[in-house]
Amino acid sequence: MDRFRTIFQYFQSNSESVMNGICGLLALVSVKMYTCFDFSCPCLPWYNMAYGLGIMFVPPVALFLCGLILNRQSLVMLEEWRRPQGRRKKDLAVIRYMCSSIMQRAMVAPVVWIIVTLLDGKCLTCAFSSSVDPEKFVGFANTSLVQVQQLLAKVPCKDDEFMRNNTSRKAVIRYLHCWSQALGWSILLILIIAAFLVRWLRPCVNQATLLQARHWSNYIDIEQKIFEETCCEHSRLFAHKCILHFFKSMREEIKLHSFSSPEAGEGAEGEEDLLRGITDQDQVNKLLKMWYYEKPPLDVCRATQRHPLGQEKSPLPWADSPGTHSKFPQHISV
């Protein structure tokens, strides 16, 4: 449990760590999905190829898109790319850096799926069993073309009635498995060599630009997070002020319409301050009714004088004025 907690805390320590964590999690999910998936080759001439190649390539596309969706930085990058220039220039190198790091992370899960599929061998066996050369295998050598296609298509299904006692079937399967695993290991080797070369040669080319791009992409990410947190904090304070003004205005109205009980004299003045003039059940009910039927305006700078019910309409505080598309937030009066 402790180990899990430390790993969790490490991954949450900064946003790059979080993204690496999500990337790793998605790769594990892809392996788990493959092992849980019940692969059943249709063993029919044209369907085999469609099924085998479909299982090999369609889930990686879905995993790639998932990798893009789950990565918060992709949204940040898109916003930075599409925003109007305003008073802050856009740096294309930063956007390119963010794009390449997002793509690299999103590619991990699909590549893991393809490699696991190839190393397992079932997909390629199913897809290409009809494409092997029948002359190489004794059991299929002297049959007509149509029949051999049908027989070869049934090779991946060991429970099929034609294949149950067929010895050449195992030979075909071993042959195809061998090709599949060779392809799998070769792809893995090529990818690892490519990653190794990129990581080793990168400092030799444009290291200063890289450091700048990394710094500013990190900055944009953090700025976005802090802006969201500040907005949340601001909305809490705004709500607090609005409600205080609402209680104040209720107290004024109650004073105006003499709702307060005549017995609450000077002795109870201290308590009345705490209760803001709402001292009995009727007043509380009226306050609650007011809260529902007439929510206070979203403007804490207005005077606390209230007009009679329903005659006052505040201007919409969230009405957008045209042309306000600058990057900097609008000033809201509090």
Residue 312 in contact with other proteins, rule: CB under 8 A: yes
Residue 269 in contact with other proteins, rule: CB under 8 A: no
Burial of 256 (0-12, 13-18, 19+ CB in 10 A): exposed
Per CB under 8 A, the list member of 147, 189, 273, 334 interacting with other proteins is 273
Which x/- pattern over 7-26 shows residues binding other proteins (rule: CB under 8 A)?
A: -x------------------
Residue 69 in contact with other proteins, rule: CB under 8 A: yes
Q: How far is CA 323 from the centre of its chain?
A: 31
**Residue type at 217 in one-letter notation:** S
Which residue stretch of 59-67, 116-124, 191-199, 211-219 sits at the interface with other proteins (rule: CB under 8 A)? 59-67
Contact 109, 87 (CB under 8 A): no
Residue 41 in contact with other proteins, rule: CB under 8 A: yes
Residue 58 in contact with other proteins, rule: CB under 8 A: yes
Residue 168 in contact with other proteins, rule: CB under 8 A: no
Q: Report which DSSP code applies to 304.
A: S
Using the structure block, give the residue that is written with the tokens 């209680």: 247
Per CB under 8 A, the list member of 119, 160, 181, 252 interacting with other proteins is 160
Q: How far is the CB of 63 from other proteins (least distance, A)?
A: 8
Contact 71, 106 (CB under 8 A): yes
Residue 321 in contact with other proteins, rule: CB under 8 A: no
Residues 77 to 96 in contact with other proteins, rule: CB under 8 A: 78-79, 82-83
Which residue stretch of 61-69, 165-173, 189-197, 214-222 sits at the interface with other proteins (rule: CB under 8 A)? 61-69
Contact 49, 123 (CB under 8 A): no
Question: Can you give the three-state secondary structure of 201-261, one letter per residue?
Answer: HHHHCCHHHHHHHHHHHHHHHHHHHHHHHHHHHHHHHHHHHHHHHHHHHHHHHHHHCCCCC
Residue 309, SS3? Answer: coil
Which residue stretch of 24-32, 41-49, 171-179, 187-195 sits at the interface with other proteins (rule: CB under 8 A)? 41-49
CA 103/CA 91 separation, integer angstroms:
19
Per CB under 8 A, the list member of 187, 238, 259, 304 interacting with other proteins is 238
Residue 223 in contact with other proteins, rule: CB under 8 A: no
Q: How far is the CB of 28 from other proteins (least distance, A)?
A: 15
